[in-house]
Amino acid sequence: MDEVFKALADPSRRRLLDSLNERTGQTLTELCADLDMSRQAVSKHLAVLEAANLVTTLRRGREKLHFLNAEPVNAIADRWINRYDRARVHALADLKTALESPTMSDEFVYTTYIKTTPEQLWQALTEPAFTQRYWGATFDTDWRKGSRMVWHQGDWSSDDGGQVIESDPYTRLSYTWHTFDPSFGEKMGMPAGKVAEWAAEPRSKVTFELLDLGEIVKLTVVHDGFGPGSGVLPVITDGWSAILSNLKSLLETGETLPDPNFTAAS
């Protein structure tokens, strides 16, 4: 937590976060172009933000892209948002909302650090006994590359629930997202017109990257494949923030968070 407050205390670093909030997934060159700072200064500030987990990075070919990451602010909000005066609550809530709001990008990127092992985290991502507790969803599949998935959530099931794209146990897992059909919308209490709009969008995919850091595991979730102006992306963004906070709590404490806020598209 100290690293987060230290990172947010500097106005230049807040400007970098503002820039990424307007358009996430920028290169160092793009960030420098928008700010009156040297490349070296921007690099140093980004290193502080990345160390605080407020910014996460991904490689795309030769480029290194920088993404806003809401996880640390979610943790602050979960721990303190109900313990301070109204002004501080509003400040934290505004920052939390800003970091979770969809920005000009066609992908969702989220990094969290969990006190667990790669083996336990892999179990939590793949075994129904775990996914039901923190997600409310389960998957029938053998988790082999190319295998189909049957997705169950509440009273809804889909034989077209996705396909496993990559499966490297304890390191990387990727699969396509479920389709949106009338029965999904009906079970989740969603307007038929909205479901029809989502069904017309390209099928997206989610990737989990696990990095063993000794006593903790770095988990990076990338959900991409959305088209421009996607209506699914904003809902997915809200859903993942709740799901991943719940996953972290389950693995670290054995209990899920009270009243988890799952969204219909999760």
Domain boundaries, the chain: 2-105, 109-253
Mean pLDDT in residue range 1-10: 84
**What pLDDT does residue 119 have?**
98
Structural contact between residues 99 and 71, judged by C-beta atoms closer than 8 angstroms: no
What fold is seen in the domain 2-105?
Arc Repressor Mutant, subunit A (1.10.10)
Residue 239: how many other CB atoms lie within 10 Å: 19
Q: What architecture (CATH level 2) is domain 109-253?
A: 2-Layer Sandwich (3.30)
DSSP string, 7-47: HHHSHHHHHHHHHHHHS-SB-HHHHHHHSSS-HHHHHHHHH
What lies within 8 Å, CB to CB, of 262 at 6+ separation is 135, 136, 239, 242, 243
Structural contact between residues 67 and 58, judged by C-beta atoms closer than 8 angstroms: yes
Rounded Cα distance, 26 and 221, in Å: 18
pLDDT in tens, 71-116: 777 666 555 554 444 444 444 444 554 454 545 468 889 999 999 9
pLDDT in tens, 148-167: 999 999 889 998 889 999 99
